[in-house]
Amino acid sequence: MPWTEPPANSNELRRRIRDLVALSALPAGWQNYDMRQIGGSIVAALISILDADFVFIALPGEGNQLITELARNKLTPKSLEHVRTMLQRKSALLGSGQEFVFGDAFGGGGLHVVTAPIGFGGDATLAAGCFRDTFPTRTEKLLLNTGANQAAIAFQQWLGDAEKRRFAAIVQRTTDFIGIASLNGQIQYINPAGLELVGLDALDHALRLHVLDFVSPQDRTRVQREIWPLVLRTGRWKGEFDLRHFGSGMPIPFLVDCFRIDDPRTGGPMNVATVSRDLSEQKNSEAALRNLNESLERRVTDRTFELAHANEGLVAERFERSQADLRFQKLQNELSRAARLTAASQMAAALAHEISQPLTAVVNSVNAAKRLLARGGPANFLTAQEVTNEAVGQALRAIEIVRSLRQLVSMGETEKRTEALASLIEEASALVLNSVTPLALRLRFEFDDKAPEVWVNRVQIQQVIVNLVRNAFEAMANQETREVTLTTKALNDAMIEIAVADIGPGIDGDIAGQLFRPFVSNKHDGMGLGLSISRSIIEAHDGQLTMEPNPGGGSIFRFTLPSCGAEHGD
């Protein structure tokens, strides 16, 4: 039985042969086509060869996704949509090659449909339909299957070529070193990034080299005797060794992943390949981190030694309190004189001035603790502990003052944060009250509710308040009534003013004009540094410190500070 029907005449035979030749010639023009263009050329050829009313190609996917179709005028858009719907219902059978007849719903008789599996993923389909009762003949089925086979071959080849192009693009554009060599080590391929990493200009140069030519001299014996035989034997090795830069000759550290490529048909080894990563930046970062750690360790050791030495000095000073007072006074005087000559001495005098109060408080507290301990008894012991805690607090305050002054003088950024203004002022005032003789002292506060918080370095601003309040009390030392008033006021959304007013004798006109200059003082034993340092602190906070006579007698010192809202852009 023939597998096609006999042709009616010689012209029919010639036409069938011409149709087969036309289908076979289609692949010659598909070299630069994508899948949709390939499908379109097949559909266009078959609708003419089969004299069909529609032809379409659907690829695997949800609902056999249609990629191309062609229909003649006999099928209206509505009728064509009906055909798609009917075929959708039979989608489970389309991939196996079936024939269907749709009822007379098109005004032109039953529509005969035949499908042919493309074989691309199992459910890709080529379908054709015609209103002819004789459709499809055996020859037409043969032509449809021939078109399906051509489509399958073309689609698979296109996908394979696309996969190769994607892989080649990845290899060409990666920044890692990718290379392929024969089993005896002769270079066969190196990607552009790999050539650049080792200082080669072109692949032709690399193809004349052996694998060992790329390895730094100190690692060649290891690669030749251990790593290469291990890859050939086991199929893979991963680790670190140095490659050689052909331009400079310098070694380059690499993380090397070396593996064997086997023939998928025979299983025998064909090539050896590597994907390696330059570790230069990582090694440099690790070295820098090690150096930083070593530097920090040295600094910690040095600082620990300094602190231990300082602690020994403090212990010795507890047993030499009177001598320590004399040495301190002598040092203070020497620093004061030297500060008039050099800026470095000025800084030393400033430090001595600022920490004298907390250190004196430390000495007094330690003396009191010693006397209590000498008396014995649990109550005295507990009281001595409290006094000792006060001494520790004053010592820590002295350290913080030194650190703050160092920041101020070095023009570095001070550590600022949001502080409650009222508690800051009350705490600083309490420090002054604890250090003066409580003789008819009166401290008044007038706080503005609209100025609750400031953006400051707490220790530095408290030092300013301590200086101003202490100066005010000392100015009124010969008076029976001594009163200081501290006032806060919000000037605007950005700045807050703090005023310290006394009822003393005031400041002489000769002194008032240069009051904030270093070494200018209204006191017979003053160093003249407190107000100079205070102004520097306030200016470092973007504020101003001024003095004016008090209308009721005495002086008023005013300074401004940024509000918390100004710092955060409220």
Task: Give pLDDT tens digits for 386-423.
Answer: 878 877 777 777 776 666 556 555 444 567 889 999 99
Break the chain into its structural domains and give their ranges. 10-169, 175-278, 286-317, 320-403, 413-570
Q: What is the dihedral of CA 528, 529, 532, 538, to 10 degrees?
A: -140
Is the confidence at residue 280, as pLDDT, over 70? yes
Say what the pTM is: 0.35
* pLDDT for 519 beyond 70: no
Two domains, one topology: 10-169 and 413-570: no
Q: In degrees to the nearest 10, what's the CA dihedral of 324, 330, 336, 342?
A: -100
Q: What is the pLDDT of residue 185?
A: 92
Which of 56-60, 64-68, 545-549 is the most confident on average?
545-549
**Could you tell me if 38 and 151 are in contact, meaning their C-beta atoms sit under 8 angstroms apart?**
yes
Q: What percent of the chain has pLDDT over 90?
A: 23
Residue 338 has pLDDT above 50, yes or no: no
> Which of residues 415 and 560 earns the better pLDDT score?
560
CATH class of the 10-169 domain in this structure: alpha beta
Question: How far is Cα 151 from Cα 117, in angstroms, rounded to an integer?
Answer: 10
**Model confidence band, residue 309 (pLDDT cutoffs 50, 70, 90):** confident
Structure-block tokens of residue 487: 């006032």
327-336, 389-398, 525-534: the lowest-pLDDT one: 327-336
Number of C-beta neighbours around residue 129 at 10 A: 27
Q: How far is residue 107 CA from its own chain's centroid?
A: 69
Rounded to an integer, the average pLDDT of 237-253 is 93
Does pLDDT of 266 surpass 50? yes
Higher pLDDT, 515 or 549: 549
pLDDT of residue 229: 95
Higher pLDDT, 359 or 345: 359
User: What's the distance, Cα to Cα, between the start and end of the chain in Å?
Assistant: 96
Is the pLDDT at 107 greater than 70? The verdict is: no
Report the pLDDT value the prediction gives residue 340, as an integer from 0 to 100.
38
Q: Rounded mean pLDDT of 444-457?
A: 92
Instruction: Determine what percent of the chain is predicted with pLDDT higher than 70.
Output: 73
Q: Is the pLDDT of residue 77 over 70?
A: yes
Average pLDDT of the residues in 225-235: 93
Are the C-beta atoms of residues 465 and 425 closer than 8 Å to each other? yes
What is the distance between the alpha carbons of residues 226 and 223, in angstroms, rounded to a whole number?
6
Domain 175-278 homologous superfamily, CATH: PAS domain (3.30.450.20)
Report pLDDT for 48: 80
pLDDT, position 174: 82
pLDDT band at 212; cut points 50, 70, 90? very high
Which residue type sits at 215? Answer: V
Q: pLDDT band at 122, cuts 50/70/90?
A: low
Mean pLDDT score across all residues of the chain: 78
Pick the CATH number of 413-570 from 3.50.50.60, 3.40.50.720, 3.30.565.10, 1.10.357.10: 3.30.565.10
